[in-house]
Amino acid sequence: MRRKKIKRHDDTLGRASEENDSKNGTSPYQKFSYPPRPERPIVQFNSTYMELVDMWDFIRGDVVWSHLIIALVAIFGIGVVGYSMLFEFNKNGLSIDCLFYIVANIILFGLIYALIRRLSRELFSYTYFPVRFNRKEGKVYVMGTNKKVETYDWASLKVQMQLVTNTPRDIRHCDGDDKGIIQQIFSLPIHYLDVDEALYGHFEFVNRYMSATNDSELAEVASSIDHILPIHQRKETFKESMQRSLFDYYYRFMNVEYPKTSVRFVSLFVVNIPFWFLKLWGRRLSILTSTTPHFSAEIENECEVGLNDKFDLNKNPPIPELMKPATLLERALYFAMIVVAMLASLSILAIMIDIIIEVLPHSDYPSFFKILWDWLLFRWI
């Protein structure tokens, strides 16, 4: 599972499961009467089990593009430092400055090595790390980034709300030892910056599913679901990647399960459109280079679903139209968004190059921003 290292300022590992620690931003769950909120993490849903994506799925792609850019900058830095090192060595031999350049290059090579290792975990791993809740057996199966599966007893888990100010808030399920000290944790897939109602509602969605004792209670949970993401059978489509890469820009991440009534993009989306563009392609790259995860035959046998299960939403999706391929209008909209994002990204890159060139001595290079737009507007004809 994606386990967090023990930190002084924010963690629940090593603490008593009933501890209310306002300093570290955690508190035991208290019962609230919030309606269930799925929030679009559902891969499979039926009367036996429910499978969700991991909590990092919603930011998938961020690590890829950011690390690739840092790696490119580091490679450029190695070239500049290497050239400076050779120039200094030819001029003064093995001087202090030359040794400085050697150390700087070693550091840059180490940085690139660390980035490549991190990228390999993002690019050559699983398309998602499933969290499966087996209602009938009362078990939870969590697949981690090490591709190993941890099994938990739902009834013995303690729920902690991570509520650190100015950081994404999440719901942690804690497994403790005989003394009640937390040894392992996993989080539900949704996290919010400051919306407690949504956080509690998301837990209620999972809790009511696992607590359902009859068809009426199970139907209430199923009725809250609009979207199914069947990536256990196939890889995420481009349409789905587009939709999920935009979740960060919904107003306060509010109720993405029902976008017709809740979509209200934050104003900063216009400013951040180049970063969204990079995230989208980082997400697509990581999905295309990763493989689909599968649980063991033993777990699948424990999760056997009846052939005529009326709550099998993968066979009977709540809104079949949402699972259809992108329409011509949607494709045109996606294409327009990508073109705008690409132009914005290239323009920002050109401006950054112009600023760097401007501070260089004796620089008489033409404006890259002007060259870009002269070319885009066909002024070269």
Query: In angstroms, how far is CA 72 from the centroid of its own chain?
Result: 23
- Span 257-281, average pLDDT: 72
Confidence of residue 71 (pLDDT cuts 50, 70, 90): confident
Would you give the DSSP letter of residue 168? -
CB under 8 Å, gap of 24 or more: what pairs does 351-359 form? none
CA-closest candidate to residue 159, choices 32, 39, 17, 3: 17
- Report the distance separating Cα 320 and Cα 127, nearest Å: 23
CB count in 10 Å sphere of residue 110: 11
Please say if the pLDDT value at position 292 is more than 60.
yes
Per-residue H/E/C for 214-270: CHHHHHHHHCCCCCCCCCCCCCCCHHHHHHHHCHHHEHHHCCCCCHHHHCCECCCHH
Ordered DSSP codes for 85-106: HHHHHHHHSS-HHHHHHHHHHH
CB count in 10 Å sphere of residue 222: 23
CB count in 10 Å sphere of residue 321: 7
More confident residue, 9 or 174: 174
Would you give the DSSP letter of residue 156? G
More confident residue, 137 or 34: 137
- Report the distance separating Cα 161 and Cα 24, nearest Å: 11
The answer to whether residues 293 and 235 touch, using CB atoms and an 8 Å cutoff, is no
CB count in 10 Å sphere of residue 225: 19
- Span 87-100, average pLDDT: 81
Alpha helices in the chain (DSSP H): 62-92, 96-123, 196-211, 215-222, 238-245, 259-262, 269-288, 297-302, 328-359, 368-376
For tokens 């009511």, the residue is 208
Q: What pLDDT is stored for residue 60 in this prediction? A: 87
Please say if the pLDDT value at position 356 is more than 90.
no
Q: What pLDDT is stored for residue 255 in this prediction? A: 65
How do residues 33-69 score in pLDDT, each as one tens digit? 778 889 889 999 999 999 999 988 888 888 898 888 8
- Span 330-358, average pLDDT: 85
Query: In angstroms, how far is CA 372 from the centroid of its own chain?
Result: 33
The whole-chain average pLDDT of the chain stands at: 81
- Report the distance separating Cα 22 and Cα 139, nearest Å: 30
Write the CB contacts of 359 (distance below 8 Å, at least 6 apart in sequence).
Answer: none
More confident residue, 201 or 232: 232
Q: What pLDDT is stored for residue 360 in this prediction? A: 60
Please say if the pLDDT value at position 83 is more than 70.
yes
pTM over 0.85: no
Per-domain boundaries in the chain: 1-56+129-225, 64-123
The answer to whether residues 173 and 188 touch, using CB atoms and an 8 Å cutoff, is yes
The answer to whether residues 36 and 208 touch, using CB atoms and an 8 Å cutoff, is yes
CB count in 10 Å sphere of residue 23: 9
Write the CB contacts of 158 (distance below 8 Å, at least 6 apart in sequence).
Answer: 17, 18, 28, 173, 174, 175, 176, 182
Q: What pLDDT is stored for residue 62 in this prediction? A: 87
Q: In a 10 Å sphere around its CB, with 0-12 CB exposed, 13-18 middle and 19+ buried, how is residue 231 labelled?
A: buried
